[in-house]
């Protein structure tokens, strides 16, 4: 038996089957609820149950503290309605416009840059994947598990799908990529997924905060903006441990050299003596705090390690007046079935 969900303030309605979570049903019916990990870890799909009741399990306490649960908040990726309900959620314009597909792909090339493998995947000639710059795909493994990776290329440059995969010691998929994967190998994936993409209906200046391979979706977004002549001011803070971890530093520097509206600020947290580093050091989100006293007129896109994303979210909103609905994020959680994922 299905339940009906009404979304406020939009008034959109959709049905949820007994075996589905609210988010699963919304995705199936192209309703643009925001989401990230789909695993109860990131909190991106959080919203309020205004009327009715839901059951929920399998989430992490930090994503939905008890203090928020008692106020009616829930994670739509873990919640199942107990009858008809009304929810309050900020829908993402355009998020449900693109069909999610399951497709085969072939490993066209693999280039290793320090401890990151840059994969380019070729789709069948008869297929094309529509996606928004910054979204991700799930690689579907033979054991039934999935690994999530951000798409690093822009939609206009879609001859291949580009993925940046960091070598995670003990991560079954990344170990496979670095030790066994061969060119021309066939894989399957599902996508596009996620609501981390450029909001093009705004003219606010943008601050990107990326750590490690969090650079991948930001790369796609910036290349999309360049291709479409978007002239909004953009500042990218890219955090890494050492100089070698800035695995596409020359590309990022070229954006700044060629486009007056783009600034790139690399930040190292553990620079080595041989790096001879003269640039910024410390935590990458702290670099933003040092440079900006007031973020009330900005949009922020943060991607990478959960601790960075959480710290940026908290400090930018509480200390720099960033409007909460202008913070967009994609945290690279290693969830219970995604070890070694994006």
Domain(s) labelled CATH 3.10.20.30 in the chain stretch across 3-88
What share of the chain in percent tops pLDDT 70? 96
Q: State the sign of the Cα–Cα–Cα–Cα dihedral 133, 196, 165, 255.
A: positive
Confidence tier at 96 by pLDDT (50, 70, 90): low
Domain(s) labelled CATH 2.40.30.10 in the chain stretch across 101-193
Contacts of 140 (CB under 8 A, 6+ apart): 102, 146, 187, 188, 189, 190
| Superfamily name with CATH number, domain 101-193 | Translation factors (2.40.30.10)
Q: What pLDDT, on the 0 to 100 scale, is given for residue 208?
A: 98
Query: Would you call 205 exposed, middle or buried from its count of C-beta atoms within 10 A (0-12, 13-18, 19+)?
Result: middle
Q: Which pLDDT tens digit goes with each residue over 234-279? A: 999 999 999 999 999 999 999 999 999 999 999 999 999 999 999 9
Phi-psi region of 102 (alpha: psi -120 to 50; beta: other; left: phi over 0): beta
Question: Residue 42's closest CA among 149, 194, 190?
Answer: 194
CATH class of 3-88: alpha beta
Mean pLDDT of 162-178: 92
Whole-structure pTM value: 0.83
Query: What kind of architecture, by CATH, is found in domain 206-331?
Result: 3-Layer(aba) Sandwich (3.40)
């Amino acid at each position: 038996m299905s339940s009906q969900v009404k979304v406020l303030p939009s008034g959109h309605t959709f049905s949820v089957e007994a075996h589905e979570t609210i988010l699963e049903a919304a995705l199936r019916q192209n309703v643009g609820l925001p989401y990230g990990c789909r695993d109860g870890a990131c909190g991106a799909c959080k919203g309020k149950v205004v009327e009715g009741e839901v059951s929920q399990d399998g989430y992490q306490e930090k994503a939905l503290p008890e203090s928020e649960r008692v106020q009616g908040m829930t994670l739509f990726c873990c919640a199942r309605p107990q009858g008809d309900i009304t929810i309050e959620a900020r829908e993402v314009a355009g998020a449900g416009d693109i069909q999610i597909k399951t497709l085969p792909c072939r490993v066209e090339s693999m280039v290793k840059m320090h401890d990151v493998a840059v994969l380019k995947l070729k789709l069948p000639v008869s297929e094309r994947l529509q996606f928004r710059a910054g979204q991700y795909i799930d690689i579907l493994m033979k054991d039934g598990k999935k690994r999530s990776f951000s798409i690093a290329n822009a939609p206009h440059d879609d001859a291949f799908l580009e993925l940046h995969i960091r070598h995670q010691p003990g991560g079954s998929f990344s170990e496979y990529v670095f030790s066994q994967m061969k060119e021309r190998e066939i894989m399957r994936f599902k996508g596009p997924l996620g609501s981390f993409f450029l909001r093009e209906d705004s003219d606010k200046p943008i601050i990107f905060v990326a750590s490690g391979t969090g650079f991948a979706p930001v790369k796609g977004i910036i290349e999309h903006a360049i291709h479409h002549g978007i002239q909004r001011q953009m500042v990218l803070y890219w955090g890494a441990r050492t100089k070698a971890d800035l695995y596409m530093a020359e590309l990022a520097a070229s954006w700044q050299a060629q486009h007056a509206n783009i600034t790139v600020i690399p930040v190292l947290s553990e620079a080595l003596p041989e790096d001879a580093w003269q640039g910024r050091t410390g935590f990458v989100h702290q670099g933003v705090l040092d440079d900006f006293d007031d973020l009330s007129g900005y949009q922020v896109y943060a991607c990478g390690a959960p601790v960075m994303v959480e710290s940026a979210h908290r400090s930018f909103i509480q200390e720099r007046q960033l409007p909460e609905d202008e913070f967009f994020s994609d945290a690279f959680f290693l969830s219970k079935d995604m070890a070694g994922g994006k």
